[in-house]
Structures are given as structure tokens and as C-alpha cells.
Amino acid sequence: MNTLTKQPNQSINVGQTLVCLHCDEDRLKSALRLCIGFVSAVLVMLFPSFVSFAAEPQWVEQVSGTTARLRGVSAVNDKVAWASGANGTCLRTTDGGATWQLLKVPGAEALDFRDVEAFDANTAYLLSIGEGEKSRIYKTTDGGQTWKLQFTNRNPKAFFDAMAFWNPEHGIAVSDPPADSSLNAGRLLVIKTTDGGATWQQVSASSIPPAMHKEAAFAASGTCITVQGRKNVWIATGGGAARVFRSTDAGETWQVVPTPIAIGQPSSGIFSVAFKDGKNGVIVGGDYAKEAEASNQVATTTDGGQTWTLAKVLPKRFLSGAAYARGKDARLIAVGPAGTDYSLDNGASWTNLSTPGYHAVSFAGAAGWAVGEGGRIGKYEPAKSGK
């Protein structure tokens, strides 16, 4: 019966009745809040990872349309990214990875594109690796519909590993020291362009410090070389030595410094170098022959690469690529074929993400992609809260 229905010879205080109903509703809400709080507290005590799990960033796998091994990736923004790899593979997305377009580079079917550097949906460079003429640089300005072969390595003993660009017109690429009697024997071979790749000029060998015995760069992710600002450039090495070559004049002159990254095998050393600004950077690596093992494989700098300090809490795996995610979820991301790790303190300590392995990673602001074996592509999903 409706308590507000007036009965004969019965008076009703409507105001008091409404107040009582409101009080009952408040008591119910209060009890519900207490119940929810109690259940949440129990979940946190019983499952301490429950809260952090919801806060962790993650890779969301996308359909690439290829099974080729991918080792190059370049994020442009949250919609546009390019990827590259074996068997002349080049991919592009313009819708955030909902679809990936397989692009054909004529005459490059047998090449291994270990690096791609893109600037928008239309403009990108590809670098293929290998001795002699297998090392090439291609460019497209129409979204991959056509490609121009801009550089072919004519030194039969040179082996180009990676490239980096300050802007669409100014770029630089590096080769291992050629094993011959040329002027570059025993020194890294560096070339640069100032006209959008129309011409590539070799940097004077005398301006590059000699390499140590069996020292070379790794072509694992297209990130053994990186640039920053208008003229800063760094090259990381491994094999016979784990060092960082540094230039502040766009590669005209160079200095080299040692690092604490472990060496000892031809397969060990630094595989990737990244910088957040002109002072703060990171190097990562390990031994690619021991993907699930690592020791002394991450170091950081706060002085532009003049000195390097070993991370205090190290990842537990080999790492082949590193990049800075920016924005609200700013953190340092490092990937390897055995998994992903991230750092919230500029590389001093690391936390593992239990995800499939990737070879290379790239960020444009907060938008990031990683690529790996069998055509695997993952798009970065930032932490929702907390971490």
C-alpha cells in the first residue's frame, strides 16, 4: 500500500515521510560503499597484482598481413606508422594500425630492410643491409606507390646497419668498418645527406676514431644510430667493444667513449641507443645468442653521452631496441625477442611486461609500435592509471 495514500480519519505528515525515505536511501548507499570498500581491500590483500595489472601498459597485436620477420619501424603519429623487414617487406598504416598496406619496392624482393625512417603518410626512407650492393637506401614521396633508389653501396666489404634523420632533408647512415685495405679499414664508414637523399657524401675517415678489434655496429633494429636536435648524433657498437661514438656537428667530427655494457662474444654489446633530449639517453643490448639471459646490458647518460652509468635494476633479457614514450604515460620502453621492459626513472630501474617478443620499437609522442618475428606488430596502449 502506498504510504502516502490518505485513509479516512487519518492525518498524514508528508514532509516527515519524505525525510524518512531519504534517510533510508542514505543508509543504503553508505552500506553499499562500505561493502564495496571491504571487497576491494580483500582483493588487494589476496591478489596484490590485481591493481597493478589494470594499470600496466600493454601491446595490442595488429594484423600485418605478412609473415616476414620485421626489424624496422617508424611511428609518425597516432594514425601513421611504417614497418620494414625481410624479403623486401615494407608496410604502412594510415588508420592507427586497423589496416596495414603491403608496399612493393621493385627489384628489392631479396633485400632485408632493417630500417625505415618516415616523416608522414607519403615520405619514407628504407635501408637494406648486407655486404656490397645489398646495402641500399630507397625513398618514396607518394606513400610507397613509387620508390627511388638513392644510394647503393659500392664497397664490397662495407655493411650498412642503420640510418637516422634530423628532418626530411638531413640524414646519416653507418656501416661496419670495411674489412679491406681502404682508408676506412678499421673505422666506421659514415655517409650523410643534406638534400633529402638526392646525394650521399662520405664523412672523412680521419674524423672518426679507429674501431677496436672486431668492433662493429648491430643491424638488429635500425637503432644503433640516433639523432637529436639539429646536429647531435650517436652510434653504438658491440662485438670487440661496447662503445658510443658521439658527434655534435652533424657527423663532421667524432669522439668515442667506453661504456659498462658487457661484451666478450661477437654477438654481444650495444644494440640500440635512444635520447630523450640533448643530455639524457640510454643504451641497451646484451647477447643475441642468449635471448632470455642478460647481465650489464643497460646504461644511461645525463651528459649527452660523454659518460655512461650501468642501470641499478637490470632487465633479465637481451634487448634490441629502446624508445621514449612521451605524454601523460611518459616512460622508457625497451624490447627484445624475449619480451618488453619499461622504466619510469629514465632507465635506472626496469619492470618487465609479460608480452610476446619484438625486435624494434618506435614512438611519436605517446603513439608507439613494435615489430618482430612472423610479421608481428603491436600498438602501444598506455597505462590506464597508476603506473
The pLDDT score that the predictor gives to residue 294 is 83
Mean pLDDT for the stretch of residues 145-165: 97
Place of cell 601523460: 328
pTM of the model: 0.85
Terminal Cα distance for the chain, rounded: 54
Q: What pLDDT digit, counting tens, does each position of 254-286 carry?
A: 999 999 999 999 999 999 999 999 999 999 999
Of 333, 349, 276, nearest to 73 by C-alpha is 333
Across the chain, what does the average pLDDT equal? 88
Can you list the positions of beta strands (E) in 107-159?
A: 113-118, 124-128, 136-140, 148-152
Tell me how crowded residue 219 is: count the other CB atoms within 10 A of its CB: 26
Q: What pLDDT digit, counting tens, does each position of 221-259 carry?
A: 999 999 999 999 999 999 999 999 999 999 999 999 999
> In one letter, which amino acid is 163?
M
On the question of pLDDT at 359 being above 80, the answer is yes
At 102, the pLDDT band (50, 70, 90 cuts) reads very high
Identify the weakest region by mean pLDDT among 57-61, 120-124, 354-358.
Answer: 354-358
Place of cell 644510430: 225
Identify the weakest region by mean pLDDT among 43-57, 58-72, 337-351.
Answer: 43-57
At 42, the pLDDT band (50, 70, 90 cuts) reads very low
- What is the phi-psi region of residue 110: left when phi exceeds 0, alpha when psi lies from -120 to 50, beta otherwise? alpha
On the question of pLDDT at 37 being above 70, the answer is no
Residues 309 and 298 sit within 8 Å (Cβ to Cβ): no
On the question of pLDDT at 72 being above 80, the answer is yes
The pLDDT score that the predictor gives to residue 182 is 59
On the question of pLDDT at 13 being above 60, the answer is no
Instruction: Give percent of the chain with pLDDT exceeding 90.
Output: 79
Calpha distance 287→320 (Å, rounded):
9
Q: Which one is predicted more confidently, 295 or 154?
A: 154
On the question of pLDDT at 177 being above 80, the answer is yes
Calpha distance 378→262 (Å, rounded):
29
On the question of pLDDT at 333 being above 50, the answer is yes
Mean pLDDT for the stretch of residues 323-337: 95
Of 81, 85, 68, nearest to 117 by C-alpha is 81
Task: Report residue 257 CA to chain centroid gap.
Answer: 24
Task: Report residue 168 CA to chain centroid gap.
Answer: 20
